[in-house]
Amino acid sequence: MEIDAALEYVQARQKGVLLTLKADGRPQASNVMYAVDDEGVIRISVTDSRAKTRNARRDPRVAVHVTSDDFWSYVVVEGEAELTPVAAAPDDDTVDQLVELYRAMQGEHADWDDYRRAMVTDGRLVLRVRPTHAYGMA
């Protein structure tokens, strides 16, 4: 499957499963919401303390699995995870990226100052997947 066709399918949805590799090589699956940017990069908000984040930091090979609402078609996009620094201050670059990601997925937030503080408190960061391979039945 061509990556452009896979991304078209993935862009039409916002929910999927992020697959990372545990230290012993077994897969670890996490339900996630995501957005695809203009460059075809899948962006996911994650917390620093979660297994998926530790796994992607140790081994950046990841996949995002997305299905149709009726479950009979799917696309898997494989790529290398890139992680931003953990949000350290409400006005840092990571929080700015998390704001941009939120807007792409949900629109405007009722209280951006509160949101920015929460991103720091939660230890959030952005995991990016640059597609290198795709397959599925779209």
pLDDT tens-digit series, residues 2-35: 999 999 999 999 999 999 999 999 999 999 999 9
pLDDT of residue 50: 96
Per DSSP bridges, beta strands 27-33 and 15-21 are antiparallel
pLDDT of residue 38: 93
Q: Is 30 exposed, middle or buried (0-12, 13-18, 19+ CB in 10 A)?
A: middle
Please check whether residue 70 is in contact with residue 83, taking contact to mean a CB–CB distance below 8 angstroms.
no
Torsion angle of alpha carbons 99, 100, 103, 108, nearest 10°?
A: 50
pLDDT of residue 62: 98
Total structural domains within the chain:
1
> Residue 95's CB: how many other CB atoms inside 10 A?
24
pLDDT of residue 3: 97
pLDDT in tens, 37-84: 999 999 999 999 999 999 999 999 999 999 999 999 999 999 999 999
Write the CATH number for 115. Answer: 2.30.110.10
Measured between alpha carbons, how far is residue 20 from residues 26, 28, 69, 74 in Å? 9, 5, 23, 18
pTM of the model: 0.95
The pair of structure tokens assigned to 73 is 């078609």
Domain containing 107 equals: 3-137
